[in-house]
Structure 1
Amino acid sequence: MFLSTFEKQLDGKRRLLIPQEFRTADNGAEHGVFCFFSIESDCLEAGGDKLMAEYVAMIEELPFGDDQRTALEETFYAGQRPLAYDGGGRITLPEGLCQEAGLRENVVIVGLGSRFQIWDRARWNARREERRLLARQAVRERGEAARRARARGPAGEGA
């Protein structure tokens, strides 16, 4: 899994050191990563073979010719950049992806389980508190739903 958050710098050639713990056979990113502009956020998304398999499965669940399938194919497959590590464990980000994600010198690599995101540090810092509040709300709502389910009993009794 891709875990933790790392502050890094892009050098003048847009090279980025990927944390050693991210470069494993377990997550399919032993030799490099797949990288593309994120579908859900203004950052880059990357991962190994497991991430690729998740997207392929999601796309293939939709019927061929379906507008949502085509949109996913255009965004994921067409936007994909397979990036191999150099001898020092760095990837070189394409200029177009850096511009699209607004990446400057200071970036943050954010582990998200089967994937990780690469954010401009200022954008990430601005987003972080908002996301913590949303996560706190999700935990509370799930806790309330679990308490209601326990109160109803095993067969929906008691409510």
Structure 2
Amino acid sequence: MFRGLHTINLDAKGRLAIPTKYREPLSALCHAQLVATIDTEERCLLVYPLPEWDTIQSKIEALPSFNPAARRIQRLLLGHATDLELDSNGRVLLPQHLREYAELEKECVLVGQGKKLELWSKSLWHSRRDEYLEIVSQPEQLPDEILSLSL
């Protein structure tokens, strides 16, 4: 459902407008209800339609809480999970703690990832994208599954 890259602006109140092409599908899929949480590997946010998040949350909750690594993931992902709702103008309000984690300022990038979106600071995204492009140019660093794809 989500693909492509969109440059969007965060306003002074911490609101960002979801791209128009996603608004109607989100209304139909999840009644404009989203969940945002931190990415534990990158300084970005993961934004899920509520039904997709519910599936992820069930899996996270099922992890063994006596396993320290699993417990850390539960604390980070569930602890930062925040309900968001599109307003009548197609905007969502991001809480300060999520904006700080992802270093979000005025210019942001929304990156489609199929069933979810990633929200990045524009400068962090450009830096990370360039690093990814460098890695992709070195086939020995790619997983075998990627090498078997035909583009």
If the length of structure 1 is used for normalisation, what is the TM-score?
A: 0.78
- Structure 1 residues 40 and 138, CA, compared in 2 at 3 Å: closer, same or farther? farther
- Structure 1 residues 88 and 144, CA, compared in 2 at 3 Å: closer, same or farther? closer
Residue 19 of structure 1 corresponds to: 19
- Structure 1 residues 143 and 39, CA, compared in 2 at 3 Å: closer, same or farther? closer
Rg larger in structure: 1
Q: CA RMSD in A?
A: 2.7
Structure 2: how far apart are the matches of 1:133 and 1:27?
Answer: 39
What do residues 33-92 of structure 1 show as CA deviations (whole Å, max 9, x unaligned)? 1011211111111111214413432541x3242222211210111111101111011001
Q: How many residues align?
A: 145
Structure 2: how far apart are the matches of 1:144 and 1:8?
Answer: 30
Residue 120 of structure 2 corresponds to: 119
Unaligned runs of 5+ in 1: 147-159
Residue 151 of structure 1 corresponds to: none
- Structure 1 residues 46 and 138, CA, compared in 2 at 3 Å: closer, same or farther? farther
Out of 34, 53, 56, the residue aligned to residue 54 of structure 1 is 56
Residue 2 of structure 2 corresponds to: 2
The Cα shift of 1:139 comes to 9.1
Structure 2: how far apart are the matches of 1:78 and 1:144?
Answer: 33
Structure 1: how far apart are the matches of 2:107 and 2:38?
Answer: 18
The Cα shift of 1:32 comes to 2.1
Structure 1: how far apart are the matches of 2:22 and 2:100?
Answer: 24
- Structure 1 residues 138 and 121, CA, compared in 2 at 3 Å: closer, same or farther? farther
The Cα shift of 1:143 comes to 7.5
SS in 2 for 1:33: strand
Structure 1: how far apart are the matches of 2:67 and 2:129?
Answer: 35
Unaligned runs of 5+ in 2: none
Contact 2:60 2:74 survives alignment (8 Å) = no
Letter in 1 for 2:12: G
- Structure 1 residues 133 and 75, CA, compared in 2 at 3 Å: closer, same or farther? same
Residue 104 of structure 2 corresponds to: 103
Letter in 2 for 1:88: N
- Structure 1 residues 125 and 27, CA, compared in 2 at 3 Å: closer, same or farther? farther
Matches within 5 A, 1:1-159: 1-23=1-23, 24=25, 28-48=29-49, 49-60=51-62, 62-136=63-137, 137=139, 142=144
